[in-house]
Amino acid sequence: MSAFKQHMPVARYSLRMCLAFLSWVPVVYVVTEHVAYIGKIEGMSMKPTFNPPESPNTRNHVLLWKWGVTNINNLEVDDVVFLRSPIDPEKIYTKRIKAKQGDLVVPRYPDTRSRVLVPVNHIWVEGDNVHSIDSNTYGPVSTGLVIGKATYLIWPLNRFGPIPLGGRECREARLRHSYKE
Amino acid sequence: MNNLYSAGKVLSYTIRTVAVLHIFSSNVFEISDTTGESMLPTLAVVNDSAVVDKRYKYGRNVKMGDLIVARKPTEPSSLVTKRVTGMPGDIILIDPSKNSLRRLHQENLDMQEIAPLDSSSYDNYVIVPKGHVWVTGDNLNASLDSRTYSVVPLAMIEGKLVYAWYLTGMLSMFTNSPRKLANTFVEE
């Protein structure tokens, strides 16, 4: 009994600390949901910028900035963004912004004569790899689908640093035409 | 010093409570005000409070005829309340009020030509693509909806409206009762 009494404050203290810790979990969750989180890049559509073939078994991780990314003014051409798929809302794509509202884009399909005008508050996204399902398939996407912007490559550590540039150079001439053309 | 300590304590409790409430309101239920005449007569122009079921977020289990809250594709910062009037795969006549069937027949348009939507032409057909829905207001004359901004991605659906309560003041709580928002398309 005396031993219990002796340990009582310790038990109470640790219980209190536990509860205090748990009560901060929702706060952390809200921050990861709206401010910043770590994003994992899956699949091959961003090769070789992310998940390069030299290390086939490591998945690249990036710091994902989430605050204010649905505002078109915070998104620039060549930014890498995570967006909810317009085809399947449960899937998340990683793509590079290739054109913004008001730009005239020559899509890869159905043919090279067609032109797409990116509507207001929409972006044109493409993968860095030729094997990518992107705006060439589903068209310009609303910025409301963007869930985050990759700001730093944080894993693996030997590639730590800002997001590398990338994209297919043969596409550059076909993007961001002025509407006046 | 003591004052500063208790102020910090109040702040930390507030932050934690707000976080919990925020998670609840963004994933389970939220009560929000609706404004605008686009959903008349289902929802009043002002003073109608609605219960939004957030479990239907990202269009999960959304059916034809559901009342949904979605982000506007051309202006993601604003939310709109509309009714789902087209599911993926459906062929939609953008605005039947424009005598379009006759025009379609006259000009011999084929599907290939009319699939890409030009917002200026109402008398066209649209095939709702996978992962999207067609939404319109109940008051077609005063509604800015898919007829203008085309299909809405399921991922931009925030929730489904389940109840509405017309409240003009404290006393109206006793005179008006919450009403269930029915799906006018599907029998329940």
- Name every residue whose Cβ is closer than 8 Å to that of residue B172 and which is 6 or more positions away in sequence: B166
**Nearest residue in chain B measured CA to CA from A118:** B74
pLDDT tens sequence across B53-88: 999 999 999 999 999 999 999 999 999 999 999 999
Dihedral angle, C-alpha A86, A88, A94, A96, nearest 10 °: -20
The first and second tokens of residue A168, run together, are 């297919």
Beta carbon pairs, A and B, within 8 Å = 71
pLDDT at A59 over 50: yes
Over residues B115-146, the pLDDT tens digits come to 444 444 667 788 999 999 999 999 888 888 99
User: Which pLDDT value is given to residue B115?
Assistant: 40
Say whether pLDDT at A115 is over 90: no
Catalytic residues of A: 45, 95
Which of B74, B77, B153 is facing A86, going by the closest CB pair? B153
Residue B150 has pLDDT above 50, yes or no: yes
Instruction: Return mean pLDDT, chain B.
Output: 84
Q: How many CA atoms, within 13 angstroms, populate the side-chain half-sphere of residue A70?
A: 16
Q: What pLDDT is stored for residue B183 in this prediction?
A: 82
Two tokens at B10?
Answer: 């109040």
Catalytic-residue membership of B72:
no
- What is the SS3 assignment for B64? coil
Mutate to test the interface with B, among A19, A21, A30 (most CBs of B within 10 A): A30
Name the CA dihedral angle for B96, B102, B107, B112, rounded to a multiple of 10 degrees: 40
Chain A contact for B130 (CB, 8 A cutoff): yes
Q: What is the pLDDT of residue B96?
A: 63
User: Does residue B38 have an active-site annotation?
Assistant: yes
pLDDT of residue B28: 95
Average pLDDT over every residue of B102-115: 48
% of chain B residues with pLDDT over 70: 84
Of the listed ranges A20-24, A136-140, A168-172, B3-7, the one predicted with least confidence: A168-172
Select from A71, A26, A13 the least CA-distant residue to B71: A71
Under the banding of pLDDT at 50, 70 and 90, the label for residue B186 is low
All residues of chain A having their beta carbon less than 8 Å from the beta carbon of residue B129 are 86-87, 138
Q: What is the ipTM of this complex?
A: 0.84
